[in-house]
């Protein structure tokens, strides 16, 4: 592409789109464009931002009159489905927009989503057998509605080249910076992040999500075990103890537990323990060794390894970032 040709990022104003994210993304991209221009970066194209209206299902999405007010549109390079505070759109509601997005994707345009926008993007079928993320509270619904999608809500942003998905409501910041990096370069992206006083891309959603186990699976025996583990803090995780609580044979429990919860008993207990450890790290000044002991680990090294795998930060890093207790 000729560097003198402006590039354009389109933001889709679908029904229920969060207006603060639409305006925030617009401001972010305009700031990145000004930084590139003011620094006289001759090798960086100008950036245009457009808004695309989709309210009428019988009319294809179109640029709104306020799009690119200071200059003609550029070469459309990416489209963004912003987050929504409403219930995610159904497959039927998203059908007309999904068809249009598939056509744009076939033209080489990057498609991206934030939070509940993932449901519209998944309705295109373009994310089948591919990884994508959304807000962690939407993970189960997205997986159930689109079983061929590999939902990974540990990740705040997944850049898969032609498809980029971002997790929580405010991860539009991360997506915006990711697109600036892709289209204007890392130098402009880092300067934009500094001006906005935000971290550059690289955070992970699992730093913030909490373990919310499925309790509506209908298996009463497994549910007894879950309630007992919750009440006991998962201190005793011996399979024989769990089987006794369930009143099942051990092999039967293992099979039914994984079917009901989607996890092995070991994985489930680790997540319960780490959830409790996060509270202790955030709201107390208890030593890491004592936190490990409190949640059921006699080996602090093993605790650190499990915590790092699940949260993505070491216990010390987690406390430095999120701790609120005073010493």
pLDDT in tens, 125-172: 999 999 999 999 999 999 999 999 999 998 899 998 889 999 988 999
Strand pairing partners for 80?
11, 112
* Distances from the Cα of 249 to the Cα of 256, 297, 310, angstroms: 11, 26, 29
Strand pairing partners for 48?
8
pLDDT in tens, 88-118: 999 999 999 999 999 999 998 999 999 999 9
Residue with tokens 């898969």: 160
119/77 Cα distance (integer angstroms): 21
pLDDT in tens, 288-322: 999 999 999 999 999 999 999 999 999 999 999 88
Catalogue all structural domains in the chain, each as residue range(s) with its CATH number.
Answer: 7-207 (3.40.50.880), 220-322 (1.10.10.60)
List helix spans (H) across the chain: 19-38, 91-106, 117-122, 139-145, 172-184, 186-196, 220-232, 239-246, 250-261, 265-283, 288-294, 300-311, 315-322
- Please tell me the predicted confidence (pLDDT) of residue 324: 74
Q: What is the dihedral of CA 315, 317, 320, 323, to 10 degrees?
A: -40
Q: Is the sign of the CA dihedral 287, 288, 289, 293 positive or negative? A: positive
Q: Which of 9-18, 227-236, 261-270 has the lowest mean pLDDT?
A: 227-236
Tokens, residue 117: 């926008």
- Please tell me the predicted confidence (pLDDT) of residue 151: 95
pLDDT in tens, 57-74: 777 898 887 665 555 677
Q: Which residues contact 287 (CB under 8 A, 6 or more apart)?
A: none
């Amino acid at each position: 592409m000729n560097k003198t040709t402006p590039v354009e990022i389109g933001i889709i104003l679908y029904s229920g789109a969060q207006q603060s994210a639409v305006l925030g993304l617009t401001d972010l991209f305009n700031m990145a464009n000004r930084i590139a221009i003011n620094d006289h970066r001759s090798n960086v194209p100008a950036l245009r931002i457009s808004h695309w209206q989709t309210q009428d299902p019988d009319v294809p999405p179109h640029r709104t009159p306020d799009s690119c007010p200071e200059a003609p549109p550029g070469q459309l390079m990416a489209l963004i489905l912003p987050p929504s505070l409403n219930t995610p759109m159904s497959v039927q509601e998203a059908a007309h927009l999904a068809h249009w997005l598939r056509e744009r994707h076939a033209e080489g345009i990057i498609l991206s989503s934030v939070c509940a926008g993932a449901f519209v993007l998944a309705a295109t079928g373009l994310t089948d057998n591919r990884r994508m993320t959304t807000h962690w509270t939407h993970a189960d619904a997205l997986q159930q509605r689109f079983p061929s999608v590999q939902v990974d809500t540990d990740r705040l942003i997944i850049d898969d080249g032609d498809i980029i998905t971002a997790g929580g409501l405010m991860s539009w910041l991360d997506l915006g910076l990711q697109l600036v990096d892709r289209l204007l370069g890392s130098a402009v992206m880092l300067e934009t992040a500094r001006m906005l006083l935000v971290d550059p891309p690289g955070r992970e959603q699992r730093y913030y999500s909490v373990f919310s186990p499925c309790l509506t699976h209908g298996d009463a025996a497994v549910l007894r075990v879950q309630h007992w583990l919750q009440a006991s803090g998962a201190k005793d995780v011996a399979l024989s103890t769990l089987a006794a609580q369930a009143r099942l044979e051990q092999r039967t429990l293992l099979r039914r537990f994984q079917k009901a919860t989607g996890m092995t008993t070991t994985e489930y207990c680790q997540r319960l323990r780490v959830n409790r450890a996060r509270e202790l790290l955030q709201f107390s000044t208890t030593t890491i060794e004592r936190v490990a002991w409190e949640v059921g680990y006699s080996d602090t090294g093993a605790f650190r390894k499990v915590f790092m795998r699940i949260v993505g930060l070491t216990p010390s890093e987690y406390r430095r970032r999120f701790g609120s207790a005073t010493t």
